[in-house]
Structure formats: structure tokens, C-alpha cells
Structure 1
């Protein structure tokens, strides 16, 4: 190859576009994969939020002041209406949907820390009944900043006050379709809190003898 040929080759720009495309193609593929899984994550997060909200709202609509295990199980199935993708994810993984979609419903009663208090009181929460994955009966939830993530051992500080609270906790084990080998499984957790709409408190009726939900001592 002569010097003239080398010079002409160095000035030839006809293949630059192909070379540049080959260089950026892996980056484009990576960005597309990240975008796909990120959008899917956001959609799932919103649906899990809706599922938790629906659980708490349905219990809060109780107008008898009592809830049974049958009621709770029926209400828990509403998650699959709000978030049907959980069933497909379970089929793909060949597991029970409830191993991916974990939930709990609980009743929390607040009482003044000083029994004689009538104004500007502080309140202590107590779990009066719980079901599903269950909040602890023996350990009262503690106050957490309102911006803190959901936890079965805490409640947002703004929820502390007189009265009764229905709490729904939902956690979904999200597996990215493309980036699972990179980020693994991500737990998406959402909790919602509602006061009863028609009664002052909601107690658990254990007369059915089923123990997957229980009244706390």
C-alpha cells in the first residue's frame, strides 16, 4: 500500500456513520432496556398503591363495627382486580400469587398516653387485630416521618390522633424483565391508612374459628 493510498484512505469519510452507529448501538440497547423496565416499575408501583388504597378503603366502609375472616379474605381478593399483572407474574414464575404479592390488614386503636388528658394529648397506638402477613400484636407501631417508606413496624406521625385506624400494607416482589440479572428482585411496598367511615371502631369477630387473622390480646 503506497503513501498515496494511505492518505486517500485516511481522508475517506464514507464509513464513519457506520462506525459511529456500531459504537453507540450497545448504549442505545442499554438505554432502551433501562427505560422499558423503569416504565414497567412505575406502572406496577401505581397499581400496588391502588391495591393498598382499595384494601384499606373497603374495610373502612364497614358499617357494622365488626369484621370477620370471610370479609377479610373477600376484600383481599380485590388486589387481583386492581393489579392483575401479579397473577401473570406468578404464572411465569410458577409460584403462588400470594408468594409475590404479600399483604396485611390491621386495626389500630389510639388512646391518650395520659388517661385524664382532654386537650393537646399525645396518643399511643395498639394493634387490635391483624391478618395476612400481620403486624405485630405485641409491639406497638412507632411514629415515623411522613416521608418515610412503608414499614410494618411504623406509622406516619400524622396518623397519630384520637380514634381508630385501618391500615393496609401491600408488598410486591418485582422482577425486571430485562435487567433482573443486574438489579435482582425489588420489593415495591405501599401502605394506606383510613379512619372508619360509618362507625367509630372496627373489631375482629373470631367466632368462625379461622386463625389466619386474629384479634390481639
Structure 2
């Protein structure tokens, strides 16, 4: 049997790199151009986003500043309201605690007492000093604090014998001013002190305080000390657009140790005046 010749396989045909690469080069170049173009567009889009954010911030910033400054002024106004109430109640307590001389029921305060309690405002309400400096005036020109003692007189014997103080006694008593302050500064809106020879009329308890009225519930036997405080709150920001806001608070307190707190005119410097007949 004849032996078969061993056949050696021919090598497979190898692709020509030059022939294969020639059509691929233009596609790669186009891909690089597209990538570069997209990159440029993305960078431009990012820059556009930054510019839009800047425009939005510029539009919103004035509103944010307005809200911030308005909030600061509202807080300052609320604090001033509370301090004006504190001034009225604290001074009324100082005056109402005057002790009468031995074997008498009428206590006396003088000009020194009034000045001392008036000057306590700088401790109770230090904003008044700061506000006065900003306005370029004395501190006592920015706030009005007025003193008055009121005495109630029964209109008839029936009213005098009525011991039921829980009911409305405003129709049964006359309220007259015993003494009133006259030397304290009054606000530009008008006189705030309670004048002599002007009867005090009853008003609803929730009515705004005025110079000629008292709360209906305050009428009854005895007397009381009335302290009226008025402060013109002027905003720090936007004062040219927002008018001053009038804060008026009053305190009505019965004397603690006396039937009446009267005024001693000895060495009086004009800060208060005693009414005729008292």
C-alpha cells in the first residue's frame, strides 16, 4: 500500500492593515469632531446656567432684603410696645406705693419723686436713648410720660352706700383730676396729659387711652394713679416711606398704702401742677 503524501496546509490569508485602516480613518476623525462639538456645547450650556442663576439671584435679592429688614423692624416694634407697657406699669407702682405721714391717709409725692420715676425710663426703656441720638434730640423728647391722680366722688348717698364694687359704678361716681404733670414733653400729635377742671368720663375697658377718659371698671370708691405713656416709633429703615407709629399705653393703679396720692408743691419746678380745690 502506497503511503499518502503529507500535505502541509497553506497559511491563511492575513488582512492588509493598510487596506483595512484606510476606510476607518475618516470615521474616527468624524467621531473626534462630534465629541469636540458636543463638549463645546456642554460648556456653553453650563455657562448659560450660571448666568441664569445670577439673573435670578439679582431679581430675588431685593425681595429677600426687604423681608429681612421688615422682620427686624417688626421685632423692634414689638419690643418697643412691651417696653412702653413696662414703663407705664413700673412708674405707676412707684407712685402708688407712696406712704402717708403718720395718722393721715393721704400720701404726698413731690417734684423730686416725679423726676426720679421719670428718669427710670432710661433703665426700663434704653431704646429711647438710642432713638433720641438717631433723631438728634434729647431722650425725653421722644417719649411722653404723664402723671395724674384721680379721685372718685359718689354722686349721691345711694351710690355712697353701695358696697357692690363688682358691678359697673361709672354712672354712680364722678372722676376728677387732683394733680397732673405739665412739664413733660408732649408728642407732636397733641397734648396727652389729663387737664385739671376736666371731668374724666367712662369708656370701655378695651378702648384706646385718651386724656379725658378712664376705663369703666376703674370707677368706684377711692382714687387711683393714672400713668399715660406715648412713644412715636419711627422705623430705622424706610422712615421716609413709613410714617411713625404711635404707641400709647396707660396704667391705672389704686394707692397701696393711702386713700389718695396727692402732690406736694413745695420746691415745685413746674413738672406737675396741683388742681384747684385739692
Q: TM-score when scaled to structure 2?
A: 0.69
What's the counterpart of residue 78 of structure 1? 120
The offset of 1:54, in angstroms, is 0.7
4+ long deviations beyond 3 Å = 15-20
Instruction: Describe how 1:18-167 pairs up with structure 2 within 5 A.
Output: 18-64=54-100, 65-117=107-159, 118-119=161-162, 121=169, 122-131=172-181, 132=184, 134-167=193-226
**Distance (Å, rounded) in 2 between the aligned partners of 1:25 and 1:165:** 54
Query: Do the aligned partners of 2:151 and 2:223 also contact (CA within 8 Å) in 1?
Result: yes
Structure 1 residue 205 and structure 2 residue 264: aligned?
yes
CA distance in 2, matches of 1:209, 1:54: 23
Query: 1:41 deviation in Å?
Result: 0.6
> Is this contact kept in 1: 2:110–2:268, CA < 8 A?
no
| 1:90-113 superposed Cα distances (whole Å, 9 cap, x missing partner) | 122221111111111110001112
Question: Aligned with 2:260: secondary structure?
Answer: coil
Q: Which structure carries more relative contact order (alpha carbon 8 Å, separation 6+)?
A: 1
Gaps of 5+ in 2: 1-40, 101-106, 187-192
Post-superposition offset of 1:209 = 4.0
Contact map agreement 1:33 1:179 (CA 8 A) in 2 = no
Aligned equivalents of 1:153 and 1:19: distance in 2?
58
Q: CA deviation at 1:44?
A: 0.9
In structure 2, C-alpha distance between the alignment counterparts of 1:110 and 1:216, rounded to whole Å: 15
Kindly indicate whether the alpha-carbon contact (under 8 Å) linking 1:62 and 1:199 is maintained by their aligned counterparts in 2: yes
Q: Deviations along 1:22-43, whole A, 9 cap, x unmatched?
A: 3322221111121111110111
Give the distance between the partners of 2:110 and 2:251, measured in 1 at CA: 20
Aligned equivalents of 1:160, 1:59: Cα separation in 2: 19
Is 1:178 aligned to residue 237 of structure 2? yes
Q: Distance in 2 between matches of 1:26 and 1:209?
A: 55
Counterpart residue number, 2:103: none
Displacement, 1:21? 2.8
Task: Please give the alpha-carbon distance, in whole angstroms, between the structure 2 residues aligned to 1:21 and 1:209.
Answer: 63
Write the distance in 1 (CA, Å) between the matches of 2:78 and 2:270.
Answer: 35
Instruction: Report which stretch shifted further, 141-150 or 104-113.
Output: 141-150
Deviations 1:173-208 (A, max 9, x none): 221100211212222111111101111111111122
1 CA distance for matches of 2:268 and 2:93? 25
Q: What secondary structure, in the 3-state scheme, does the structure 2 residue paired with 1:182 have?
A: coil
CA distance in structure 2 between the partners assigned to 1:150 and 1:216 by the alignment? 21
Unpaired runs of at least 5, structure 1? 1-7
Q: Which has the higher strand share?
A: 1
| Contact residue 106 and residue 128 of structure 1 kept, 8 A | yes
* TM-score between both structures, scaled by the size of structure 1: 0.87
How many residues matched? Answer: 207
Query: 2: distance between equivalents of 1:143 and 1:194?
Result: 16
